[in-house]
Amino acid sequence: MALIVQKYGGTSVANVERIKVVAERVKQTIEDGNQVVVVVSARSGITNQLIERAKALNPHPDDREMDVLLSVGEQETIALTTMALHAIGVAAVSRTGAQAGITTSLAHTRARILDISGGDIKAQLNQGKAVIVAGFQGSADGHITTLGRGGSDLSAIAIAGAIQADICQIYTDVDGVYTTDPRVVKNAKKIKEISYEEMLELASSGTKVMQSRAVEFASKFNIPFEVRSSFNNNPGTIVKQEVASMEGVLVSGLAVDKNQCKIVVSDIPDKPGTAAAVFKSLAEIEVVVDMIIQNIGRKGLANLTFTVPADDAHRAEQKVNEILSENGGGNVSVLDKIAKISIVGIGMKSHSGVAATCFDALAAEEINIQMISTSEIKITVAIKPEQANKATQILHDVFNLEK
């Protein structure tokens, strides 16, 4: 008998029919001899409807009240899912975030989990019941809080950790983590096992199966989880702590992000603090900066090149211009869109040569690399977006990811 946490996202509980499918899967899991805790999101679309109503009443709704409002989405789902289980003869009971003892900070709309007591989840399981818990929400001093984007994944993983579940299954609309986007590379392969670190690098490089936050939490507390599809019974991808066998695999996957812009800041004073001022100002307006290159140009002035999501490029340019005028001048130009391709693999830690193989393979096909950044388990190159698909296929082949 295993203790399993299953998390179902908004599309998996979107309507009455989908909820029935979830209930059947939970029933099957129990009949296979397991204890099950189910963590559910709001039905897809509900959250947007609620936000729409809020914005119609107040363009800047209060964070505390947003939490009171948005938490109704999951509360509806736990009740409906529990009723669906009863209808097919499965003993079950629902718990809100507060009832499940999910204690958070009082930072409304982006609360951090401080503690999970689990409430009476264990007791209910031992009475033979499935426990249906509202994801995304918790409580702080009697106030309702929410965890922000990706919060339900985080709830599921945190609960799995708190009740020492054997596995946490994240059901979603993809059936696992692939070596790269299967729409781009036909022979992309589902990865059986991957380390937290690789999963994080893939997520931060554009393969958004899950929010990084939930993966970081799982990594910190060593909680294994599986990403799998709620639309079929295929085994998914298990994400867990690095094990020796993983190191045999040089490269695990490729992440592609075609929606980036390159910003070049030239002729800034080469003195301490200028770059920091630029990036601090971008952080303030919540623009995520990646692939930073700094070098010295003519007359002791410096150049700074970095990438930002294309949608943020205009805001970023304006902000940087402001900062430069306060910091001794400089020029900003936003260049065309670029694509980022990231090669991820913990095997790279102890092997050299991945970068060289990559550069060679791309050069052979006359694909020009505009920028390069590397970390311990990742190499990222920026190229022209129209070459991204071809480059991905080339790298997928050269690192034998189809095997």
Contact residues for a copy of itself (CB under 8 A)? 16, 19-20, 50, 53-54, 56-59, 61-62, 64-66, 68-69, 71-72, 75-76, 78-80, 82-84, 86-87, 93-94, 96, 99, 142-144
As a whole number of angstroms, the distance between CA 277 and CA 91 comes to 58
CB of 84 to a copy of itself, least distance (A): 4
Could you tell me the two tokens for 269?
Answer: 């004073």
Contact 254, 184 (CB under 8 A): no
CB of 82 to a copy of itself, least distance (A): 5
| Cα separation values, 297 from 55, 101, 330, Å | 48, 57, 12
Nearer to a copy of itself, 76 or 242 (CB): 76
CB of 145 to a copy of itself, least distance (A): 13
CB of 61 to a copy of itself, least distance (A): 5
Residue with tokens 């050299």: 352
Contacts of residue 60, Cβ cutoff 8 Å, sequence gap at least 6: none
CB of 66 to a copy of itself, least distance (A): 7
Nearer to a copy of itself, 53 or 314 (CB): 53
Determine the Cα angle at 222 with ends 251 and 35, to 5°.
115
Nearer to a copy of itself, 69 or 362 (CB): 69
Nearer to a copy of itself, 87 or 288 (CB): 87
Nearer to a copy of itself, 88 or 288 (CB): 88
Q: Over the Cα atoms of the chain, what is R_g?
A: 23
CB of 78 to a copy of itself, least distance (A): 6
As a whole number of angstroms, the distance between CA 133 and CA 61 comes to 27
Nearer to a copy of itself, 58 or 368 (CB): 58
Strand order through the sheet with 378-383: 290-296, 301-309, 253-269, 331-344, 378-383, 371-375
